[in-house]
Structure 1
Amino acid sequence: MSVSVLEIERLNKSFQTPKSTVNALSGIDLKVQEGEFITVIGPSGCGKSTLLKIVAGLDLAYEGSVKLSDKEVTGPGIDKGFIFQEPRLFPWLTVEKNIAADLSLRNPDIRKRVDSLIELVRLQGFENAYPRELSGGMAQRVAIARALLRSPKVLLLDEPFGALDAFTRAHMQEVLLDIWQHNKTTMIFVTHDIDEAVFLANRIVILKPRPGSIRSIVPVTLPYPRKKATTSFQSLRLKVLSEFERIEDTEWVDRAGL
Structure 2
Amino acid sequence: MGNGVLLDIRNLNKTFQTNKGGVEAIRSLNLRIREGEFITVIGPSGCGKSTLLKIVAGLDVAYEGSVELEGNRIVAAGIDKGFIFQEPRLFPWLSVEKNIAADLSLRDPAIRRRVDELIELVRLQGFEKAYPRELSGGMAQRVAIARALLRSPKILLLDEPFGALDAFTRSHMQEVLLDIWQQNRTTMIFVTHDIDEAVYLANRIVILKPRPGEISGILANDLPYPRKQASASFQELRLAVLSEFHGKIERQEYVDRAGI
Per the normalisation by structure 2, the TM-score is: 0.94
Instruction: Give the gaps of 5 or more residues in structure 2.
Output: none
2:36, 2:116 → 1: CA distance? Answer: 23
Does the 8 A contact of 1:2 with 1:34 survive in 2?
A: no
Distance across 1 between alignment mates of 2:28 and 2:172: 36
Task: Find the counterpart in structure 2 of residue 143 from structure 1.
Answer: 144
Distance in 2 of aligned mates of 1:38 and 1:225: 16
Taking a change above 3 Å as real, the CA distance of residues 48 and 247 of structure 1, as seen in their structure-2 partners, is farther
Q: Which amino acid aligns with 1:232?
A: S
Question: C-alpha separation between the residues in 2 aligned to 1:34 and 1:238?
Answer: 28
Following TM superposition, by how much is the alpha carbon of 1:247 offset from its aligned partner in structure 2, in angstroms? 7.4
Q: Name the residue aligned to 2:114.
A: 113
Q: Residue 79 of structure 1 aligns to which amino acid in structure 2?
A: D
What one-letter code is carried by the residue in structure 2 that aligns with 1:96? E
8 Å CA contact 2:156, 2:186 repeated in 1: yes
Matched ranges for 1:115-130 at <5 A: 115-130=116-131
Shift of 1:76: 0.3
Tell me the matched-pair count: 252
Q: Does 1:243 align with 2:206?
A: no
Q: Secondary structure at the match of 2:173?
A: helix
Do the aligned residues in 2 keep the contact of 1:208 with 1:247 (CA within 8 Å)?
no
* Cα separation, 1, equivalents of 2:183 and 2:3: 19
Looking at structure 2, the residues matched to 208 and 54 of structure 1 have their Cα atoms a distance apart, in angstroms, of: 18
Q: Supply the distance in 2 between the matched residues of 1:257 and 1:17 (Cα, whole angstroms).
A: 40
In the TM superposition, 1:1-258 aligns within 5 A as 2-246=3-247
Contact 2:216-2:245 at 8 Å conserved across structures:
no
Q: More displaced, 131-140 or 236-245? A: 236-245
Residue deviations 1:78-120, cap 9 Å, x none?
Answer: 0000000000000000000000000000000000000000000
Segments ≥4 residues shifted beyond 4 Å: none
Residue type of the alignment partner of 1:189: F
**Residue type at the aligned position of 2:194:** D
Q: Give the CA deviation at 1:238.
A: 0.6
CA positional deviation for 1:245: 2.6
Task: Tell whether the 8 Å contact from 2:36 to 2:185 is kept in structure 1 after alignment.
Answer: yes
Cα RMSD (Å): 1.6
Distance 2:246 2:205 in 1: 16
| Residue 257 of structure 1, CA deviation | 7.3
CA contact (8 A) 2:14 2:62 kept: yes
For residue 145 of structure 1, what is the amino acid of its counterpart?
A
Listed one character per residue, the Cα deviations across residues 221-253 of structure 1 (whole Å, up to 9, x for unaligned) are 1011101111110111011001123179xxxx9
TM-score normalised according to structure 1 size: 0.95
Instruction: Spell out, residue by residue over 1:131-169, the C-alpha distance to the aligned partner (whole angstroms, 9 max, x if none).
Output: 000000000000000000000000000000000000000
**SS of structure 2 residue aligned to 1:167:** helix
Tell me how far apart the structure 1 counterparts of residues 247 and 232 of structure 2 sit (CA, whole Å). Answer: 24
Contact 2:219 2:241 survives alignment (8 Å): yes
Instruction: Show structure 1 runs of 5+ residues with no match.
Output: none
User: Measured at CA, do residues 15 and 171 of structure 1 come closer, stay the same or move farther in structure 2, by a change above 3 Å?
Assistant: same
- How far apart are residue 20 of structure 1 and its match? 1.3
Quote the sequence identity (%): 75
